[in-house]
Amino acid sequence: MELKVVETPKEQGGCSASSCGGSADQLAHLPEAIREKVKNHPCYSEQAHHHYARMHVAVAPACNIQCHYCNRKYDCANESRPGVVSELLTPEQAVKKTLAVAANIPQMTVLGIAGPGDPLANPERTLATFRALSEQAPDIKLCVSTNGLALPELVDELCQHNIDHVTITINCVDPDVGAKIYPWIFWQGRRIRGRKAAEILIAQQQKGLEMLTARGVLVKVNSVMIPGVNDEHLKEVSKVVKAKGAFLHNVMPLIAEAEHGTFYGVMGQRSPDAAELQALQDACAGDMNMMRHCRQCRADAVGMLGEDRGDEFTLEKIEAMEIDYAAAMERRAEVHARIEAERAEQERAKASGGNVAFVSLDSLRARPQTPKALIAVSTQGGGVVNQHFGHAREFLVYEASANGVRFIGPRRVDAYCSGDDTCGEAETTLQRTIKVLEGCAGVLSAKIGLPPWEALEAVGIQPSGEYAWEPIEEAVAAFYQELLKGGHLDQRDERTREVA
């Protein structure tokens, strides 16, 4: 008897398709209507993020709360994380920029407003942008991301503007935990501090979540994992928000560096490492559909997740562009149809076992301790292994085992800073890359040069360029078999099991 390694055999148990994001379809358990809504949304569908792009417009500078991981003074062109932008736009400029990007990057399906402050603390600017875009660009999905404090009073207005996706950042449901994350909120004309502030914020977030789901709006919940502050508590958060109808939970790692001037950065609060993040995501996955491909974008990011083409669409450049949006919409529809045809083809190939590696059940039984292995992939989109190792700014990490292949998450080489030597980074890019790949058994790229190849082998990471242009999950499954047969996973057993 043979078994496809990309599938999860039922008797293995422990990891149902609905809760274990990243296997064939992490959204498989959702009703058809919701799947239809998210199937080309790069932030909500792990599969879609290989094919479609998103953009944020920075129209919302004001904020009504303070979070310990945020510093409102900070702006750096080399920085890529939430809350950071290069230029603030008026709603009119934001509409023009959106149309320009949509015309030039036809894969762009989603426009979000995420800051740099809180979009709902700037209701006029945020709603004016949505109003104009729902009229002028009906083929773009509109999303908003909020801390939730002003959400209940704005739910009905949001629903009027064709917004069917909302993200709420919920870091806690316990005010005692909240008091360690939020130093203050601005509420009804007063700055309120401590536990009371957290109590109000939590109540507003939960109320907003309930109101949105009652109106059929899709809600994703973002949580920042802060070791020692809310890491254990987030399992409870996951349960609560799922019970209230959130359809996706995105646990993101804290970003904290003293350079950012944030409370956590200056006070030495550490960020979680990749293994800790994965363990918490797995623990929450028992209760909820987890998202693992988040890139924690800037509030003015443009392009595929993990890339930022904002420089091509500065105010100066878009002013000079002539856009025929009717023509652009036709072209966009053609591009989207082509992408969907490619995705259907990849699905068919997978279903018919075209590129799937096979492993006999007998051989698995003979090896009850078949190890799990993390395999990194460099890709520039399309769902295939198609990026040169040296060009990779990030790697997608998959876990392969006898149970199949599942997506674990992205790891960024630039680690939130793409600055050159002037930033004080003494490490070379190769050293940084190898550090980022820690815990991985192998790495798949379209091509790998000899010096990095040798450096990777020296630290026990097996590189390969043999799977260039192959679909990622199939390539990972086949490479896993290759590593297993070659004995590469034997000596790694102990270490990888800790991680996996």
Partner 1 sequence: MALKIIESCVNCWACEPLCPSGAIFEARPHFIIDPKRCTECEGDHAQPQCAEICPIEGAILNSFGEPVNPPGSLTGIPPHRLAEAMAEIRAR
Give, for 191, the enclosing helix (H) or strand (E): strand 190-193
3-class SS of residue 469: coil
- Helix, strand, coil in percent for the chain, rounding step 5: 40, 20, 40
258 binds partner 1 (CB under 8 A): yes
CB-count exposure of residue 450 (10 Å: 0-12, 13-18, 19+): exposed
Q: Is the dihedral of CA 101, 107, 111, 112 positive or negative?
A: negative
263 binds partner 1 (CB under 8 A): yes
283 binds partner 1 (CB under 8 A): no
Using CB under 8 A as the binding rule, the residues of this chain from 83 to 112 that contact partner 1 are 88
420 binds partner 1 (CB under 8 A): no
Of the residues 47, 98, 122, 206, which one makes contact with partner 1 according to CB under 8 A:
122
63 binds partner 1 (CB under 8 A): yes
First to last CA, the chain: 27
261 binds partner 1 (CB under 8 A): yes
Phi, psi of 376 (to 5 degrees): -95, 150
For partner 1, the closer of residues 266 and 329 by Cβ is: 266
Least Å from the CB of residue 81 to partner 1: 17
- From residue 159 to residue 198, the character string flagging contacts with partner 1 as x (rule: CB under 8 A) and all else as - is ------------------------xx-x--xxx-------
Of the residues 3, 159, 203, 266, which one makes contact with partner 1 according to CB under 8 A:
266
User: Who's near 133: CB < 8 A, 6+ residues apart?
Assistant: 95, 98, 111, 140, 142
Give the number of other CB atoms < 10 A from CB of residue 344.
10
10 binds partner 1 (CB under 8 A): no
Using CB under 8 A as the binding rule, the residues of this chain from 455 to 494 that contact partner 1 are none
- From residue 15 to residue 54, the character string flagging contacts with partner 1 as x (rule: CB under 8 A) and all else as - is ----------------------------------------
**Cα–Cα distance for residue pair 484/315, rounded to 1 Å:** 52
Least Å from the CB of residue 314 to partner 1: 18
Least Å from the CB of residue 92 to partner 1: 15
Least Å from the CB of residue 98 to partner 1: 21
Give me the helix-helix angle, 151-160 and 123-136, nearest 10°: 20
422 binds partner 1 (CB under 8 A): no
327 binds partner 1 (CB under 8 A): no
Q: What letter does residue 269 receive in the DSSP assignment?
A: P
**Cα–Cα distance for residue pair 111/127, rounded to 1 Å:** 13
**Cα–Cα distance for residue pair 378/386, rounded to 1 Å:** 7
Where do we find the tokens 């002539």?
322
Binding site for partner 1 (CB under 8 A): 61-64, 66, 68, 71-73, 88, 117, 121-122, 124, 183-184, 186, 189-191, 258-259, 261-263, 265-267, 424
